[in-house]
Amino acid sequence: MTPTLELAIDLINRVSVTPEDAGCQALMCSRLEKIGFNIEHLPFEDVKNFWARRGTAGPVLAFAGHTDVVPTGPVDKWQSDPFKAEIRGDTLYGRGTADMKGSLAAMVTACERFIEAHPDHKGSIAFLITSDEEGPSINGTVKVIEHLQNRGEKIDWCLVGEPSSVTTLGDTVKNGRRGSLNAKLVINGIQGHIAYPHLANNPIHSALPALNKLAQIEWDKGNEFFPPTSFQISNIQSGTGATNVIPGKMELLFNFRYSTEVTAEQLQQKVESILQQDKLDYVCDWTLSGKPFLTPEGELLEATCAAITEITGINTDISTAGGTSDGRFIAPTGTQVVELGPLNETIHKIDECVKVEDLDTLSKIYQSMLEKLLA
C-alpha cells in the first residue's frame, strides 16, 4: 500500500457526486498544508473550490483537477461498491479511479516527495481544485480563474490531471481541446389531422432538407493540431404520441466540436443562414461550452514529454481529441496547459478502474516534471 494508492482509495471512498465534494478537498488541503502550502477556500454557491500555493515568486506551476465524479449508474451492475475502492488482481476499481481521483492522489504525493528533496525550489507550486467539473462548470474553475485575474495572480504552467492515456500510461498527452458549441433548435409548424396535410404544416418534413444540408457540410479541414470540425445531432423530439396527428413543432439538440479554423460566431451564422434559406419558422438558442485552446510548444510540453520518456521509456503522442476539460478556462489567460492522466478507457463507465502500478508511475512522472521546471 503505497502513499499514492492509499490516498487514492481514501478519495474514492468519499461519495462526491457532482457538485458534492464529501470532504475530498479537506483531505487534500490537510496534506498540502503540512508541506508549506497556503490554502484559500473559494466556495461559489453550492460548489467547493480551493486555491493552494507554495511560494510567492514566479514561474507558477499549477496542478488543476476536480474532486467531483459522475453518477454511478445502476449500482447492481458494478462488481463491487463504486464508493468502496476495491483491488482485484492488479487493478483498482471504484468511481473516480481514473477520472480523476487517482490523478489527484498522484499530484499530492509527487509534491510531497519533490518538496522534501527541494524545500527551496524555484518559483511556486499551486493547486486549483473544484467540485464542479462534471456538472454545469459555472461555479468552479472559471470562477477561481476570474478571482485570480482580479488580483493580478497569473499561472504560467498548468497540468490538468484528466485521463489522457489511451492504451498505456503516458502514451498520449493533450495539448489542447476542440471548442464545443451547443444549440437547442425549435422548428414550428401547424398541428393537424394526418388525413388533411394541406390544412397543417409538418415541422419534421419542413426541417429535414435543412438538417440534411447541415449534416453534409464540410465545415473545415482541420489543421496540424485539430481534426475537422464535426456537427452532430444528439436529440430529436416531436409528435403527440398519436399516429393520426401531424405535430405542431419539433425540438432538437445539436453540437459542434470545432477546430481553430472557425469561430463559434461563424458556425452560428452558417447554420442560421441555412435555416432562413429554407424559410423555416424557428427559434435557436446557442450555448458556448468552451472555445478551442492550444499549447503548441513551450517549456511545459517539453518537460511533460521528457518526464514521460524518463519514467516509462515511451515517446508520447500529442493530441487535441476528446471532450472538453477545465483547461478551456485556464488557457485563455495565456497559461501553457497540458493534460496528462490515467487511461480513459473506463471513465464514466460501470466498473471504472485503473492499474494500481499506474498510480505510482503517474506520481513519478509528475515529480519528474516538477524537477525539470522548478528544481
Which residues are annotated as catalytic?
68, 133
**CA-closest candidate to residue 122, choices 56, 32, 38:** 56
Task: State the amino acid at position 243 in one-letter form.
Answer: T
Strands (E), the chain: 38-41, 49-54, 60-66, 86-88, 91-93, 124-130, 157-160, 172-174, 176-177, 179-188, 192-193, 230-238, 245-246, 249-258, 282-290, 293-294, 317-319, 336-339, 353-355
70 phi and psi, to 5 degrees? -80, 160
**CA-closest candidate to residue 329, choices 180, 172, 124:** 180
Buried b (16+ CB within 10 A) or exposed e, 282-311: beeebeebbbbbbbeeeebbebbbebbeeb
Exposed, middle or buried: residue 89 (CB in 10 Å: 0-12, 13-18, 19+)?
Answer: exposed
| Cell, residue 341 | 492522466
Distance CA 141, CA 214 (A): 33
Distance CA 336, CA 154 (A): 11
Strands (E), 135-275: 157-160, 172-174, 176-177, 179-188, 192-193, 230-238, 245-246, 249-258
The residue behind cell 497556503 is 38
Q: Dihedral of CA 51/54/56/58: which sign?
A: negative
CB atoms within 10 A of CB 49: 24
Helix (DSSP H) and strand (DSSP E) numbers for the chain? 9, 19
